[in-house]
Amino acid sequence: MAKYEDENVLVIPRKLFDEIGSFQGINFNTAKYLPSFLDPSNNFFLSREDAEEDPRYKQIIPYALFRYQDTFLRYIRGKKSGEQRLASKSSVGIGGHINQDDADQSSLERDTYMTGVEREINEELKLNCNYSQKPVGLINDDSNDVGQVHIGVVHLFDLKGNDIKPGESNIQDLQLLNKEQLTAERNTLETWSQICLDNLDTLLK
């Protein structure tokens, strides 16, 4: 039985990332990378089974942070998390793969990437408030197996209210915490969340 149930995910060649300018950690120049990454001539769908094991490709992962006043969403990934290598870790980011269904459901007005961003959020959270959002950075972490085959696009969602609930059972212990509270539990956070927390002030500018 296939581990990922024949899922196809959006990838870019690692070579493209290197040509534009690869980095380790976080980069705030979204205008330098996103137009090329999201250009349909540069990205394509690859079997997730292959993509997870082949560092010649980077899977594009939207990673959404949610801010309400001076607090940020934090949750714990349940043991049934889609990415088992991150299960039981705390996180400040909601994200996931852009898959073939997102391409099939997008239109000329809605590009595949943003269709995927909204699908992931609607699956994992119940947001009963208005919000605005914008991309604020990119994350690359080649120090571990998960990071080597993914690149994160950090989106900041500014919430107009705090009516936010889990949409899936793997979103556990969801809370809104301030920066000091997050810093106190930094060691429990997954790597991408640690990177975001360490650079929070710049991401919020």
Which domain CATH number covers 176?
Answer: 3.90.79.10
Asked if residue 16 belongs to a domain, the reply is: yes
Task: Return the pLDDT at 2.
Answer: 55
Task: Return the pLDDT at 33.
Answer: 98
Model confidence at 19: pLDDT above 60: yes
Q: pLDDT: is 162 or 6 the higher one?
A: 162
Query: Which residues lie across from 155 on neighbouring strands?
Result: 64, 135
Tell me the C-alpha to C-alpha distance, in Å, between residue 95 and each of 59, 151, 161.
12, 11, 21
Mean pLDDT of 7-17: 96
Nearest to 201 by CA among 182, 174, 173: 182
Task: Return the pLDDT at 104.
Answer: 81
Question: Lowest-pLDDT range, 43-47, 88-92, 126-130?
Answer: 88-92
Asked if residue 1 belongs to a domain, the reply is: no
Which residue's entry shows tokens 């269904």? Answer: 101
Residue 79's pLDDT band (cuts 50, 70, 90):
low
Model confidence at 85: pLDDT above 80: no
Domain count, the chain: 1
Residue 1's pLDDT band (cuts 50, 70, 90):
very low
Strands 150-159 and 57-68: parallel
Model confidence at 109: pLDDT above 60: no
Model confidence at 154: pLDDT above 50: yes
Q: pLDDT: is 143 or 16 the higher one?
A: 16
Quote the CA–CA distance of 121 and 91 in Å, as a whole number: 14
Which residue's entry shows tokens 């993914």? Answer: 150
Asked if residue 40 belongs to a domain, the reply is: yes
Asked if residue 161 belongs to a domain, the reply is: yes
Model confidence at 159: pLDDT above 80: yes
Q: pLDDT: is 62 or 170 the higher one?
A: 62
Task: Return the pLDDT at 80.
Answer: 56
Asked if residue 149 belongs to a domain, the reply is: yes
Range of the domain at 24: 8-203
Question: Lowest-pLDDT range, 48-57, 86-95, 102-111?
Answer: 102-111
Asked if residue 2 belongs to a domain, the reply is: no
Evaluate whether 10 touches 51 at the Cβ level (below 8 Å).
no
Asked if residue 3 belongs to a domain, the reply is: no
| Mean pLDDT for the chain overall | 91
